[in-house]
Structure 1
Amino acid sequence: MPVNPSALSLGDLVAELGTRGDCRHDPDLHMGPDAFEDEPLAERLARQDVAREVCEGCPVWALCLDYALRIRPTFGVWAGYLPRELAALRREARALSAPEVEEAA
């Protein structure tokens, strides 16, 4: 039975992602090298493309997206999105919600 992401606390989301997310097999793929390593642009783009492919078939994709939208990450690949793409999704969601809020008032 699918889990409703909005019904879970952040802690429960983290637990689900950690036990069922496909990224658990290779976290560096999604997060990149540590802060002390230099990653050439071509390698970073290739790594991100592979990470996005892993996300496509992940059984907890919706949970990951919900988590990423809540925590607003500054790096990594989350549910197939980069942080700037997640920020754009949040802005788009707010823009879509704004007319509904105005109509209710």
Structure 2
Amino acid sequence: MSARALSVELSGLPLVDLLSQVADGECRYDPDLHTGPDAFTAETLAERQARIDAARDICETCPVRDACLEYALRVTPTHGVWAGHTPKEIAGLRSAARSTRKAA
């Protein structure tokens, strides 16, 4: 988890507005890279890691990365790569944010 991801300030925009921003993401050019194969296609662990790494590279320079991360933090996706993070990483970011708010 990167420090950059933790520094994102939530905008408070309605989810529909965030979703419209996320729709302009770089992932729109190759959505399978970010979501993975369909349920009928096998993917080895090595293939999955290579796909996730490639998706992270694309997310790194995406102009809507912050909006994508905010959206993911708010909807808690169960699959895919969002702003360079897997769902497990996003869950960890949410937990860290909650812990920080409680400590404050």
User: What is the TM-score of this pair, normalised by structure 2?
Assistant: 0.87
Which protein is bigger by CA-based radius of gyration? 1
CA 1:50–1:16: 2 relative to 1, 3 Å:
same
In the aligned structure 2, how far is the partner of 1:73 from the partner of 1:61?
15
1:37 Cα deviation after fit: 1.1
Residue 91 in structure 1 maps to residue 102 in structure 2? no
Correspondence 1:49-60 to 2 at 5 A: 49-60=53-64
**Gapped runs of 5+ residues in structure 2?**
1-8
Relative contact order, higher structure (CA 8 A, sep 6+):
2
- Over aligned residues, Cα RMSD in angstroms? 1.3
**Gapped runs of 5+ residues in structure 1?**
101-105
Structure 1's consecutive aligned runs of 4 or more residues displaced over 4 angstroms after TM superposition are none
Name whichever of 5-14 and 40-49 sits farther off: 5-14
Residue of structure 2 in register with 1:25 after alignment: 29
Question: Which of the two has greater helix per residue?
Answer: 1
User: What is the TM-score of this pair, normalised by structure 1?
Assistant: 0.86
Q: How many residues align?
A: 96
